[in-house]
A and B are shown apart, each in its own frame.
Chain A
Amino acid sequence: MHIVDRRLNPGGKSLVNRQRFLRRARAYVQQAVRDSLKDRSIKDLDKEGQISIQRDVIHEPTLHRAAQGGSRERVFPGNHDYMEGDRIKRPDGGAGAGSKAGQGEGNDDFQFALSREEFLDLFLDDLELPDLAKRRLIGGAVDGIRRAGYSTAGNPSNLSVPRTMQKAMSRRLALRRPKGADLARIEEEIALIEARDPPLPDDAVRLEALREERSTIIRRRNLIAYIDPVDLRYRRFETVPKPVAQAVMFCLMDVSGSMTEHMKDLAKRFFALLHLFLTRCYEHVEVVFIHHTDRAAEVDEQTFFYSTVTGGTLVSSALDKLIEVVQERFRPDDWNIYVAQASDGDTMQSDNGRVVSLMQQDILPFSQYFAYLEVGREEFADIESIGTTTGLWQAYAPVSEANRNFVMRKVHHRREIYPVFRELFQRKGVAERSS
């Protein structure tokens, strides 16, 4: 009998199968992941979670007899007072006499749990920051690794066998190391002469010479190694700084009194998604949070998502703040600048002119992409889409037409957040596929 301890074997044997399963049901899993989003709190957006998809998508059919119809007989344990010939009313569910419960093969949904990684992968699939153009070197922060010839010292795992053998061979040739074949030839000749009977007259001399030669060969072969430490060559690698695209995302959120809780929730959800996307997919993206009432302030993540300040509305204040921060910290020559703004569109008429000019003159020229998200009341979803537009929307409309890097969208309901978000950050060329 053998005992084998398998516990230390690498686990995850089913990983490939699991991935294949997810790939197979991808469209449905993705849909389920996106649907599950609208019920999640902002904090839990990126948590692992349980999702359910329709069972028939991944159904494996077999030929089997139907559960209904035909004549059947079955034996059951635990008779109490039935006598032969008794008639019993058919239980609900037709012919399937007895309890079918517990077999769990109904048409209910197929439920399973996704890990956080899988969840995010499905969730953020095919998204990218558009037009990430400005790449430059930043001080040694990022290193790429590239080959850099061979060296005489290094890690055993980097030993280059072909190069080492090549070196060894040239050294052997240069030092005239006798070959194994030479030795064999002489041994053979010695054996031949020794075996000769009777010996020829000059055999003794010849034998002496051959023996001499043999010992020389053996000595030389011992002295000149087949492979010598000096032959060893290792593959060498060196690190090189790689140009990296630095990007900064400005999140501008209106928190004025006109924003209802519902609207703030929508806006926060949008930014939460954005934040998640950026932190997960880009290592070198900075995020700047600015919220504004009639005054704007740069805040940290915590305040941005959870503070409850309120007040009047002055959109231009946020834009001013944005420009100020850019001038202070993010040189437009070095940084790819992205802006996402969320507001209910409620603004002072008098401010609109300034907003538009700031936008046209200052912000759009240095931005790679500016996304404006207008959040509306849930109940106005239909009315607003028909015609009434907000002040800010009206002001932005001509800007949007004139500039390709300015995009605006409206959302009224939680469920629209994710589609709109995807639309804004969809990787080019995949729009048709996943629409």
Chain B
Amino acid sequence: MTVELAPAPLFTGSDWDFSLINRIHDTIEPIALQEMKLNIYPNQIEIISAEQMLDAYSSIGMPLFYKHWSFGKQFVTNEMMYRKGLRGLAYELVINSDPCINYLMQENSATMQTLVIAHAAFGHNHFFKNNYVFKQWTDAEGILDYLEFAKRYIAQCEERYGQLPVERVLDAAHALMNQGVHRYPRVRPRDLKAEAAREAERQAYRDRIYDDLWRTVPSGAKADAIPSDARRAALGLPQENILYFLEKTGPLLQSWQREILRIVRLIAQYFYPQRQTKAMNEGCATYTHYRIMTTLHERGWITDGSFMEFLSSHTNVVYQPTYDSGQFGGFNPYALGFGIMSDIERICREPTEEDREWYPEIAGSNDAMEVLKDIWANYRDESFVSQFLSPHLIRQWRLFKILDKQGESELRVDAIHDERGYRRIRRSLAREYEIGRQEPDIQVVDVDLAGDRKLIVEHAVLDGVQLDAGDAAMVLQNLANLWGYEVLLREVDSETRKELKSHSAQPNAAWLR
């Protein structure tokens, strides 16, 4: 391919203006789209100030959100950390929407703006548009409209029913947010625009069929007890999405309360893919910016000085402290993602004998970019690590696996970076990214319909790790309040089915009123 060299660098100092941003974008675009063949949503670049970045932080990065005190709490924390200089702010923030919104901080130098555009506007953007988890679960086109609807709806509820009752429902829903996600995809893709329309329709229907007379009709005779299997089937049990279950079957909830549960649930669902693809998403963006920045430098679009500035920043981002360095706080998703992806590129270009044995399909493949793009589209963190963490990398990072068995007084080193350990380390690290292991498996299993309507929830305990008791009690109280009757949470060992512990909570009578 003939490569066009830059007539002059794009910029020399650290200052930038809007026309420079435009030129940077236009220089990067052909590299990303034609050479790397990325497939992206149209970009919208927004320049924001530090204060606006703080605002965005506290509404989970979204440009608009409903009002709730917990976002205020976020805000005051971030603000203090920032003002005290304990924590810097991100250089950018990117939203999975169509068009893809990239927030750039005004404080960034010209080099950083280039890096950030490459990273977010092309790297993250490509990942959002192509990764199957995002495709399956999120509606990039509808999210902003839906958030707008959610904000308006909750404001209306506050006007109509008072701030406090709405806040209570939101508090309870937030507590159960992680249990408000469908983990297995349904056939129908989400259409958030239709959601808003549907709620309006439902409200209109309720208004139309409302007849005060119904209130005076005596309630019917008691139904016969239903056999438990039929009952569970009718209620759609067992159900892992507790918010969904409450929304559909909660006996005492008002329709607006159900709608609020739904809003929280759908937003949780929107963020669900991000939690499963953190390392891949960051890896993809980091790999992209690295490729683009290197290319820009090779062709003379950026100066040696700003390339050095980029390298220093890049090195910080992908730094992985070792376990005994005192800074270790788990794996750095940037380092993990970028490390594995660079390694894949190496395997494609210059495979060793070992690589050929481990990765016969990709070793020596000519087009590393195609291989990577396929991976970006079809994997999430867990499968990505379990397939592509190579022995080379395990040795390079000197990974080892520690086993902490219940009842044993000492920890055991179960595997190290040797022939016997590669697979075990890889499997174990992959499991750390398995969402089913990060989060407890909690399901609604039964309701005592004939009796006191007690709701029975079960936690399938893995490896004997139980729930944090203090928090569990608080969440359970919220659950009982929403359900309106007693709630029982049983912690049952997933293998032996032995009950290890149980918590229960009674609803707070004043809560729903």
Contact = CB atoms under 8 A, between A and B. Distances in A.
B411 A88 contact: yes
B178 interface: yes
Given A9-B52, A65-B468, A82 B22 contact: no
Which of B174, B413, B428, B467 counts the most chain A CB atoms within 10 A? B413
B79 A63 contact: no
B465 A6 contact: no
A66 B42 CA distance: 43
Interface stretch (B4-12, B317-325, B361-369, B375-383): B317-325
A97 B405 CA distance: 12
A50 B466 CA distance: 37
Given A61-B474, A99-B329, A102-B327, A3 B411 contact: no
Contact of A82 (B75, B320, B413, B429): B413
Interface residues of A, number: 64
A41 interface: no
A185 to B, nearest CB: 41
A407 interface: no
A18 B72 contact: yes
A214 to B, nearest CB: 48
A106 interface: no
B45 A75 contact: no
A58 B474 CA distance: 12
A88 B414 CA distance: 11
B191 interface: no
Contact of B80 (A7, A50, A59): A50
B213 interface: no
B219 interface: no
Interface string B402-415: 11111001111111
Contacts of B329: 99, 101-103
Given A86-B413, A89-B410, A63 B442 contact: yes
B466 A14 contact: no
A87 interface: yes
B413 A11 contact: no
B55 A87 contact: no
A43 interface: no
B199 interface: no
Contacts of B413: 82-88
B428 A73 contact: yes
A7 B404 contact: no
Dominant SS among interface residues on chain B: mixed
A20 B71 CA distance: 9
Interface in A51-93: 58-67, 69-80, 82-90
A16 interface: yes
A112 interface: yes
B398 A78 contact: yes
B45 A67 contact: no
B72 A19 contact: yes
Contacts of A65: 439-440, 465-468
Contacts of A329: none
B411 A111 contact: no
A72 B25 CA distance: 47
Contacts of B25: 1
Nearest to A67: B468
A82 B400 contact: yes
Nearest to B389: A75
A174 B44 CA distance: 58
B80 A73 contact: no
B416 A17 contact: no
Given A74-B432, A75-B428, A78-B397, A5 B467 contact: no
Contact of A3 (B22, B326, B410): B22
Contact of A78 (B18, B49, B178, B324): B324
B404 A73 contact: yes
B54 interface: yes
A4 B428 CA distance: 45
B116 interface: no
A93 to B, nearest CB: 12
Contact of A60 (B70, B326, B465): B70
B463 interface: yes
B206 interface: no
Interface string B426-448: 00110110000001101000000
7 smallest A-B Cβ distances: which pairs?
Answer: A78-B322, A21-B72, A70-B465, A17-B72, A70-B464, A76-B323, A112-B76
5 contacts: A6-B47, A63-B442, A69-B464, A86-B412, A97-B411
Given A73-B404, A86-B412, A88-B410, 7 more contacts: A5-B18, A7-B52, A21-B69, A58-B69, A60-B171, A72-B403, A113-B76
Interface of A: 1-7, 9, 11-14, 16-24, 50, 58-67, 69-80, 82-90, 95, 97-99, 101-103, 110-113
